[in-house]
Structure 1
Amino acid sequence: MLTLGFVFFACSVGFDAVRSDLPEARQIDLAVLDEKPDGSCRVRWADPYQKRVREASYHCDPGRSALLKAPQYSDSRGYGWESGFMLTEGPDRGDLEDLTAEPDFRYSDVFLLLGMPLIGLGLIGGNLRAVPRVMGVETRLVRRAARLSEAAEWAAEDYERAVAAVREAGCHVLPSQASEVAPDARLVTALWVLREAGPQARQTAVLGGKLAKQMHGLLDDAAPAAGLRSMLKAGPMARLNAAQAVTELRLLLADSERKGLPERFAQTSVDLLRGQDADRAALAAETDFAGDPTAYSRLLAQLTRPAPSGSSRSASPRRGWRGYPRR
């Protein structure tokens, strides 16, 4: 309907553009010699083409002000005043344009009257049809869920990377405090990072890995609900899956925020990224190791213990620094 309405509107514009049956005309002053109440009058005007004063019947505007009609009009001859259009080209130039001969409706008017209602109905109908499709748009919720999933995944990856740094140091035994052999600086620094993060870092990392895995599939299903355009393009089944996924994401977000998981994931990532400042981390690790080497040995033994088959996971490539605030 919208397309058909625009076609009719274009036809109306086209007819107006190609319509050239009326010659050019200019407005002139007319002296009204005689006038009847219905507007029928006889007028006089100067014809510059025939170079003479002419008179003819005309249809004056009966509703114009009485001050423009005789005898109130300030004309010493007792005439009234009216304006009209004189043709300036063609064989009839110099004649008055007869406006009453124009048809009330032209082809352009007919097409315009047909096209405008169709355009209105098309716009209203299209918007009403789109309303059910965009009712399930939850842009903010999907973004919040994506940020939570990302923070959980980062916490899990950062912990695995810290553990991998300990295992990749290549030394599984630390020298005792009485030994003269210096401990491996990389190993001590890697262990110091995990000690600073605390035992809760492992729990948070495990929880983050499970939550990220759970939310990954839900975010894929909820992708159409992330915006108006994607929701309009989605099919009925995709919109149904998106609505179900959004419901589950809303429950997960509420539960996670109630438990303070977003803050825990962020803080764990901050604690596990302390080793990026190598010089400062090495100095702090050396000082801490000197004070309690036994604790480092116990932590190393726990981390280098053979893992059950199928439970090891490779760490992802290092991401850039994320500026979480320190709590």
Structure 2
Amino acid sequence: MRGGSVGRAERDIVARGARLHEAARAVVADHDRAAEAVRAALRPIHDAEVKRELDAIPVARLQDVTEGRLRLASVERSGLRTVGDVLEAGPYRLRRIPGVGERTVGQMLAAARRLSEAAHETVAVHIDVERPEPGTTALVTALHVLVEAGPDARRAADRATALSARLGPLLADARLAVGRVRMLLASQEKKERASAAVTGIRTLVDEADRAGLPGLLAQASVDLLRAPPSDIAAWVDFELRSAEYYSLLAEISGRQPDVAAAEGFLPDEIAERVRTQHLDDSLRRVSLRGYQAFGARFALAQRKVMLGDEMGLGKTIQAIAVLAHLAAGGRSHFMVVCPAGVLVNWTREIEARSTLRVTVLHGPDRHHAFADWRERGGVGVTTFDALRGFPVPAPGGEEVALLVVDEAHAVKNPKAKRSQAVAGWAERCERTLLMTGTPMENRVVEFHHLVRMLDGDLADSLGRRDAPAGSVAFRKAVAPVYLRRNQEDVLTELPSLQHTDQWEELSASDEEAYREAVLAGNFMAMRRAAYLRPEKSAKLDRLREIVREAGENGQKTVVFSHFKDVLRVVEEALVADGTPVFGPLTGSVPAGRRQRIVDDYTGAQDPAVLVAQIQAAGVGFNLQAASVVVLCEPQIKPTIEHQAVARAHRMGQVRPVRVYRLLATGGVDERLVRLLETKTRLFDAYARRSAVAEASPDAIDVSDTELARRIVEEEQERLGVRDTGLSAAE
């Protein structure tokens, strides 16, 4: 703008800035509206939960709050039995109770309100998928909008807020520049301010264009205004990814778990350093719970650490968050080491939850894959044994930005070659993240070696003598490298039921048994082939790991299978491990005997495992003692799985239930799961809750024989073996 004249270019810049500003404000408004819809749906449900809580607290508790100053006998005689009754009665009715004066009424109501406030802060809303009601349906559908929009919508809203704050004042100053007459009549100071504002707008608009922000804002607005196609669709999605729903619910409601517990009771100076650690989420596709974000920040801030969270708290996603942060900062090479049984899970989780490139460094071509990973970068995923064959990184720690070691308790023996290989890599990598759900502080000698991989000086300071398990002094001593949180401390709003499909690669022995079953056209033999040779069974090895970790965390397990011979294999393997096993509970066991088995299992000390035929245990038994459920193979009828899991996930269960379905890649399990999923998922979900479905589960399931025939034929074609006929019933 020379000489105070207004050019078309300046007007165009201001117009572009105004459109961008309007788009930013719209995204912020859309996101706020979606969040407010969640709060509005949550409010009556939460208030009802609080009322139930207060109605369960006896009036006598008011004595505790007032340190015994109240005399409540006459109040109870008047029919007011609970704190909820007192609050509902109010001051007028309370004053009419004989013997209750004005001062007592005031103290009583003040104490009741304190309990009410505490209940509002601590009571969590749990969404019951088995009993969808109008209120919970409204909450799930409101949450669905934000979950479906994903982290990109939240990022767009945050960027839009920042952009709007910068653009707004500039557009106000630049208004002068779009009118020739006003510009001519303006003072020199205003002209200069308008000119500077146009320059600022141009800079912001150009930056936004280069970053693709207009497209991001437009997509976010579309996503935030997209309602679910139906209530049923929202409920189905909630069942599939309930953790994401509860994560958003906790964030929007502001009802987070106890901060000290979520931060693993770390010393203040360490916790503060972790809190201030930035966490870049631009390459991550999933949101984190507050405690999960803290865990990722802990690994970044402390550089070489052990994450010892209890099973089911999402150690894998915390590790992926660290990987994504470092990749966003320009780091290129990362290594994940894990048992062979979870290698497939790691690759799928990284691909599903981040934009990072994954290379599997396993199998006969692993050395070629390693050379490719070294050249191109990304996340290399390998096994403990394969790692031994790869050259360690160069000294200095710059080649590999992060080494992740899953199931780190597997390398606790310093004399084992796998432990030595991991230790060599840990020494040469810039950062190391050891992960184990086993409470290692209960075995200080084993813990000592893992600490040495991370910090030799700290390991020396601990000494080799045993320390009191869980003692304050011990936790403080290992705080620089060790973070552990327990379910009961941080899962206040997570669902009581979590499903995990555990994909396993068949061993060579498994593959041979499977091929023989396919050649014979025996569908049932194909389904249980993974257990026919127990000594080299990949599924059985993973099952034993799950049971062991559950037991070490004080949890009981129930193992379901369709096949009696699979249950025998499982029982023999677990007994050989020294695990107390109850059952097998099968259809041939008389009903009275079955209940005694369940009662004995319930009364047993941890760890204990009940093995049961899924058809026999699916109906009529309460298995609340189990908080870990293992399904040895996928079932042909989904209703059978749901009914069996419901034996543990029912009223009276006090811990979250974790369900593991063991699946083999590339064969009958994968085809069975895919075929069942391609049925009309929403119809299944609706029918499963209907009276018709409860009375006749077969009404919504495909024909067993037809399904078996299709899978056998497809597998025979895939493996190139001769079709010898179907023997599905064997």
TM-score normalised by length of structure 1: 0.49
Higher relative contact order (Cα pairs below 8 Å, separated by 6+ residues): 1
TM-score normalised by length of structure 2: 0.23
